[in-house]
Amino acid sequence: MVEYNNASTIGWLSVPIAILAGVLRGSVPFLFVSLGECLTEKSGKINLGLEGSMLLGAVSAYAISFHTGSALVGVLVAILVGLLAGLIHAALVLQPRVNDVAVGIAMIIFSSGMAFFFGKPYIQPKAAQISPLNCGAWSHNPQIKSALSLSPLLFVGIVLAIAMHWFFSSTSWGMLIRAVGENPVGSRAMGIPVNAFRFWCILSGSGLAAIGGANLTLFYPGSWIERISSGQGLVAVALVIFARWQPINCLYASLFFGGAQALGPALQAAGVSSYYYLFNAAPYILTLLIMVATCSRSGTLAYMPESLGKDE
């Protein structure tokens, strides 16, 4: 059996393994930010500002990990900063007549400004990283070993996706959040504190996005640069539609989007240079096609929270 584990014998397998490694590494931020967006949208509000929360999470995790030497403290502080960004967003969008889309874009500008401003001194130094879980210890092949050296946050995210699925389908609080997202006026008439539910959903959603950002700087790629999130927070909106607002589907969709992201460089390496950009657009076109296919003329998307994007 020894010769099968030899690096040279896996030959053609090395490409799929590289892609698998890319998928497992690249999908973690997508997973967290999409779960955050899913939670926010279930309550009937949209948060484009998760892009900003991610950046703030990324920079604060990196800075705190650099100063304390503990990646865990870094992640915890990132969550706090994410909650703070969510607090600003929630405080604004829950006022009457304030448009959540516009506030989201303004929050991206403000948060990225803050992140770049305070992140400037941290572009050079190296911070303590999250120690990986070596799930590939059984193999003697170094490529498999490195592909399966995974972020612990991946497992946290998977558990969270399952927990959120259970939360929305089987707990009374989850049901109430869905009720608020489907019909805020009716919910209010029933005595459900609509704004309180939305407030906590927006806050936690932003906190989750910040964890995704922390994974960017503390695991993969593992350093702080401006534009590190490269629009992943905005992509999350597309991803949640792709996942039909189901947390479990967010997991699959994150793997898919992470995979699409990982395939690009692989194609580029294979010599397909300019088509690589068209390939980059594939997830968005696919999401748009899904929207077109599942929308009805009455203006509602199947599974979409009814009050999403509407003023009361």
Partner 1 sequence: MDLNQAVDRIERFLLPLLSIGLALILFGLFCVCQGLNPLDVYASIYRAAFGRWSSFQNTLLRAAPLMLCSLCTILPAQTGLIVIGNEGALVIGALSATCVGMLVYGFAPFFAQLLMVFAGCLGGGLWIGLLGLLRAKRGVNETISGLLLNYVAIALLNFFVEGPIRDPASLNNPASFPLADSHLLGNLPGMRVHFGIIVGFVACLLSTWLIYRTPLGFSARVTGGNYRAAQIVGLSVNRLMIIFSIFGGAAAGLAGMIEVAAVHGRANDDLVAGYGYGGVLVAFVARQNPLVAIFVSVLVGGILASGGILQRVHDLPDSTVLIFQGLVFLCVLWSDSFYGKLNSLVPHFIHGSCHEIFNSSCAPEDISHG
Question: Which region, judged by CB under 8 A, interacts with partner 1, from 26-34, 162-170, 178-186, 269-277?
Answer: 269-277
Contact 218, 71 (CB under 8 A): yes
Query: Dihedrals φ, ψ of 137, to 5°?
Result: -60, -25
Nearest to partner 1 of 17, 182 (CB atom): 182
Question: Which region, judged by CB under 8 A, interacts with partner 1, from 24-32, 144-152, 215-223, 279-287?
Answer: 279-287
Question: Which region, judged by CB under 8 A, interacts with partner 1, from 15-23, 62-70, 77-85, 99-107?
Answer: 99-107
Query: Dihedrals φ, ψ of 295, to 5°?
Result: -80, 150
Indicate which single residue of 85, 92, 177, 209 sits in contact with partner 1 (rule: CB under 8 A).
92
- In this structure, are strands 149-150 and 133-134 parallel, antiparallel, or unpaired? antiparallel
Asked whether the CA dihedral 36, 37, 42, 48 is positive or negative, the reply is positive
Does position 230 interact with partner 1 (CB under 8 A)? The reply is no
Task: Supply the minimum distance, in Å, between the C-beta of residue 299 and partner 1.
Answer: 4
The DSSP letter of residue 130 is: P
The DSSP letter of residue 301 is: B
Nearest to partner 1 of 103, 128 (CB atom): 103
Does position 103 interact with partner 1 (CB under 8 A)? The reply is yes
Q: Which of 247, 242, 225, 25 is nearest to 116 (CA)?
A: 225
Contact 111, 56 (CB under 8 A): yes
Q: Which of 164, 185, 128, 170 is nearest to 306 (CA)?
A: 185
Question: Which region, judged by CB under 8 A, interacts with partner 1, from 9-17, 29-37, 164-172, 276-284?
Answer: 276-284
Number of Cβ within a 10 Å radius of residue 230: 13
Does position 101 interact with partner 1 (CB under 8 A)? The reply is yes
Task: Supply the minimum distance, in Å, between the C-beta of residue 73 and partner 1.
Answer: 23
Does position 6 interact with partner 1 (CB under 8 A)? The reply is no
In terms of residues, how long is the chain?
A: 312
Task: Supply the minimum distance, in Å, between the C-beta of residue 48 and partner 1.
Answer: 8
The amino acid that residue 234 corresponds to is L
Question: Which region, judged by CB under 8 A, interacts with partner 1, from 73-81, 109-117, 193-201, 248-256?
Answer: 109-117
Number of Cβ within a 10 Å radius of residue 196: 11
Contact 63, 81 (CB under 8 A): no
By CB under 8 A, the residues from 43 to 72 that bind partner 1 are 46, 48
Task: Supply the minimum distance, in Å, between the C-beta of residue 109 and partner 1.
Answer: 4
Does position 99 interact with partner 1 (CB under 8 A)? The reply is yes
Distance CA 17, CA 63 (A): 33
State the residues that interact with partner 1 by CB under 8 A.
Answer: 46, 48, 88, 92, 95-99, 101-103, 105-117, 120, 231, 234-235, 237-238, 241, 273-275, 277-278, 280-281, 284-285, 287-288, 291-292, 295-301, 308-309
